[in-house]
Amino acid sequence: MSVQLLSLPGWPEQVMCGYTWRGESDADFNLALHVGDDPVRVERNRQQLQAALPAPARLAWLQQVHGVAVARADDGSVPEADALWTDEPGLACCVLTADCLPVLLCTADGARVAAAHAGWRGLAAGVLEASVAALGGDSCFAWLGPAIGAKAFEVGTEVRSAFVDAMHPADADATLRCFAPSIRDGHYFADLHGLARLRLRRLGVEHISAVDACTYSQPARFFSYRRDGQTGRMASFILRRAVI
């Protein structure tokens, strides 16, 4: 099964997180219900993911819309938002991606956790800022997951302008360095990981871990919307272990 559980040095012991991939032997490990896949198969895949987590873990999902809304996770609803947070043990906050950047967060004491879906629109508009605020604005830990890489994510001037217009003045040079000129006039290669790190550090988040993997350039392992168009989605998840 294509589930990677993470061991992140320095993170609170009670926090567990991880991500999925499409895999070479089970390339249909899609976790999204909105991409035209057989819903029975998707539900089976979700059950397999849940079984990989310590019982009695449950999964909480979102209807993602590339915005900045943050919802509190619960067992039943699927809110329209792009980040989930919880302080409930055993409830896993999940986000789905296939090039967008998944960001997992927890407070330094492990009392609250959050998962954010940070495509370029949400990242520029402030989904990470909203997620950290939902956790209480305290010192946080962050993990950046697999996303389209800086050598593959070609964007137009409107994307670059969205970040430039929203940047903190002290981050001006660093923000511009996250956009390398393309050979195509008016186009750039954008570094989502680099842009997210800038936003998180501006919020005081210094403990940042990451998976250095490009979804676009690894078709055997990752779904990629930019590469394939109609495609599945991976999940990234974080939870507090339940005490039985």
Q: How confident is the model at residue 242 (pLDDT cuts 50, 70, 90)?
A: confident
Q: Does residue 126 register a pLDDT over 90? A: yes
Q: Does pTM top 0.85 for this prediction?
A: yes
Is residue 12 reached through a cis peptide bond, with omega within 30 degrees of 0 on the bond before it? no
Type of residue at 91:
L
**Which of 158-170 are b and which e, b meaning 16 or more Cβ less than 10 Å from the residue's Cβ?**
ebbebbeeebeee
Cα-Cα-Cα-Cα torsion 56, 37, 151, 187, nearest 10 degrees, comes to: -130
Give the pLDDT confidence of 89-123 residue by residue, as tens digits: 999 999 999 999 999 999 999 999 999 999 999 99
What is the pLDDT at residue 28?
A: 84
Look-up of token digits 């000129």: 181
Class (C level, CATH) for 3-148+206-240: alpha beta
Q: Which token pair is 161? A: 């302008």
Q: Does residue 187 register a pLDDT over 70? A: yes
Q: What percent of the chain has pLDDT over 90?
A: 82
HEC string for 76-106: CCCCECCEEEECCCCEEEEEEECCCEEEEEE
What is the pLDDT at residue 76?
A: 77
Give the pLDDT confidence of 145-161 residue by residue, as tens digits: 999 999 999 999 999 99
Is 54 within 8 Å of 92 (Cβ atoms)? no
Q: Does residue 244 register a pLDDT over 70? A: no
